[in-house]
Chain A
């Protein structure tokens, strides 16, 4: 019965392979690292670290200082020619859409630089000024991690991967990150459309 034996062995390999594939792709839902990290925070919100930051005004704060507010975070570096300009535009739109809750202190926008050596407070201030074509008021900070360890902690918790682009800049998995008032990362959203982010925040705030 050599044919039957080969059939049995093949079936066993296929079943084992299917099980391994299923486990490695979150039941065939996530085939890329990016999809995986988004699915993971949806299922199990991630506690964000209390890393020290320096804002565009030079003030020292902690990431944990924003507890009690909805926190919308993106990652930037101010020398960025493409993505970060787009992200800046999106955050400006979010400032408009969430103007109400921002004014009430319920929402905070935060851009964190992963290039802290270059992005000193004056650079961060210039980035914000460049992105706000008019003064939309407060509620949007830009900041850099104070020490490399803090930056590593933040990158790990958020699942941000930064690689050199070979042109002196960086490429990173750019997205908009939502942290709830308990300090947990609960959602990661695509660039290109700030609508869903604003919607989720307004929904959670009961509007």
Chain B
């Protein structure tokens, strides 16, 4: 998605997501928070990648060979918001809520959007495999856990989230498998070895 003013659009989207009625709705169930709110916040951050000036992009790129650093940062930061404790706290405690609303766009969405185009076929494959596996792992955990992991959410809500995550994981897996069999791949141009004499 290419926008004329990605930075403004991202800021506006963040404000809309912060608006009390919408925020309340997105945090009213574990399912909505994990499958809508968190991905939307990450999506807002990915828009920021288009808003960065060229010199800044170049400086980041020097430290982001094959997109590995950005992928590591995005993985670590997103894993933090999968802890039941932080999910609970982000609804009740203003400071944790602020951390969630800032870190998901800036430390997950933005670095990931900057890194994806630089990732090699192998790195993308490893990422997708792990991403899909996470849906299965967590989905299974939520489905079979007899205990409520979040004090703020009902057991039925947790189990519904588990079912949805298993479905999403399956769909993603089929999508990736389909692409591998029938798809076309556009990969970043790779330098040739040895360097061709021009």
Contact = CB atoms under 8 A, between A and B. Distances in A.
B154 A165 contact: yes
A158 to B, nearest CB: 12
Interface string B46-85: 0000000000000000111110110011001101100111
Interface string B76-97: 1101100111101100000000
Contacts of B150: 32-33
B168 interface: no
A135 B190 CA distance: 83
Interface residues of A, number: 29
Interface of B, helix, strand, loop or mixed by DSSP: helix
B88 A33 contact: yes
B151 A20 contact: no
Interface stretch (A2-10, A56-64, A100-108): A2-10
Contact of B63 (A9, A30, A33, A161): A9
Interface of A: 2-3, 5-10, 13-14, 16-17, 20-21, 24-25, 30-36, 161, 163, 165-166, 171, 173
18 contacts: A2-B65, A6-B66, A6-B68, A17-B77, A24-B86, A25-B83, A31-B83, A31-B85, A32-B84, A32-B149, A33-B150, A34-B151, A161-B151, A161-B152, A163-B151, A163-B153, A166-B154, A173-B148
Q: Top 4 nearest A-B pairs by Cβ distance?
A: A17-B76, A6-B65, A9-B69, A2-B65
